[in-house]
Amino acid sequence: MKILTTTDSLEKFCAKAKSAPFIAVDTEFMREKTFFSQLCLVQIATPDDEAIIDPLAEHIDLTSFLELLTDKNIVKVMHAARQDMEIFYKLCGEVPAPLFDTQLAAMALGFGDSAGYMALVKGRLGINLDKGARFTDWSRRPLSEKQLSYALGDVTHLRDLYPGMIKELADKGRTSWVEEETDGLLDKNLYSFDPERAWMRMKPRQFRRDYLSVLKAVAAWREREAIHKDIPRNRVIKDDGLYDIAQRKPKTLKELGNLRGVPNGFERRRNSDRLVKVIIDAIRNAESYAPHFEMKKQKPPNLGPSVDMLKTLLRLRTEYEGIAPRLVANAADIEEIAAFGNNADVKAMKGWRWEIFGQDALRMLDGNISLRLKDGEVVAVKAND
């Protein structure tokens, strides 16, 4: 087992890996007490080699590895890639591409919503993984042979999964489906910690301009504080506190301290006076600072039965096609279709999803497809059948 702890050994490995058509990559990290993930290990496998990189090793320079990640001629194979992509984006300053996410591919090949890595390895490779080491504190040194073997297995199995999944997707004409889903993971905004975008993680409870302006401002303040101190957002102040501040708009430290959603003594903390100033400025500049929201169309009442029928139709169609339902539509999409029919602005009404589900969803809403019991099972039946 290769453990790369020096810049020289890493550069030699990466020099050979440059000619590989793909690399399988995984990470082990810690984040419980920090804002940013602390990268503790990087596992990497090429078609004919594998190694573990120790980013915590003294004086190691990761440049050669980061160059591999950003090489457009090498496919990066990962499973449930978003967290790893966030770590790599922070290191590289760009999103690693091209990417093949085996979780997305598994959904297109019938392994269910958010297919787990253990289930995928067992289902496609017939291997039962021992996950006993998954709760390891990966920042500690030394790591045991068992822990390192567990970590390396994550990429050696990925390497073995990739060729078969690529072939099956191509044989079934579903390569473009996975590429379309992968495009969403390549959006750098997913991995950016711009404080002025922090409000987008929130779910506004009102839509007044002053409320939205204050919510945006205090979310940005919290993001800056969390980044500066490298602590989780909720260690600064919880989401409920931000909603309470946006609603009540305190203009003094005393008013801030009286809010139910704010921890006791919060107004006496360092920089709390800056938060009050942020709130006052946000109220003053509400018209120009508040984010713009498109008000959603009012949905008709009593959608429940239609939603339930569409969910059943989706399950039937996706079972027949051998794909995960969530790859076609989620619960919010189904509700949009039930409410607005052909005017629903969701992916399920476009492209390949339309062929599999969207057009039949409209037929059901129009009464041209019904659900019936046949031999104890629910089936979809066209009106003329």
* Shared fold status for 195-289 and 304-382: yes
Give the CATH fold of the 195-289 domain: DNA polymerase; domain 1 (1.10.150)
Q: What is the pLDDT of residues 249-299, one digit of tens each?
A: 999 999 999 998 898 999 999 889 999 999 999 999 999 999 987 767 788
* Predicted local distance difference test score (pLDDT) of residue 237: 95
pTM (2 decimals)? 0.89
Q: CA–CA distance from 85 to each of 5, 27, 105, 176 (Å)?
A: 22, 10, 17, 21
CA 32, CA 137: separation in Å to the nearest integer? 11
Give the start-to-end residue ranges of the domains of the chain: 3-190, 195-289, 304-382
Q: Which of 295, 201, 297, 190 is nearest to 243 (CA)?
A: 201
Q: What percent of the chain has pLDDT over 90?
A: 85
State both tokens at 114.
Answer: 């958010």
* Predicted local distance difference test score (pLDDT) of residue 164: 97
Q: Which of 219, 228, 357, 374 is nearest to 282 (CA)?
A: 219
Q: What is the pLDDT of residues 181-235, one digit of tens each?
A: 999 999 999 998 999 999 999 999 999 999 999 999 999 999 999 999 999 999 9
Q: What is the pLDDT of residues 122-154, one digit of tens each?
A: 999 999 987 777 778 999 999 999 999 999 999
Candidate CATH numbers 1.10.287, 1.10.620, 1.10.3470, 1.10.150; the one for domain 304-382 = 1.10.150
Give the CATH fold of the 3-190 domain: Nucleotidyltransferase; domain 5 (3.30.420)
Q: CA–CA distance from 194 to each of 134, 155, 212, 294, 375 (Å)?
A: 31, 32, 18, 22, 56
Residue 112 and residue 324 in contact, taking contact as beta carbons nearer than 8 Å: yes
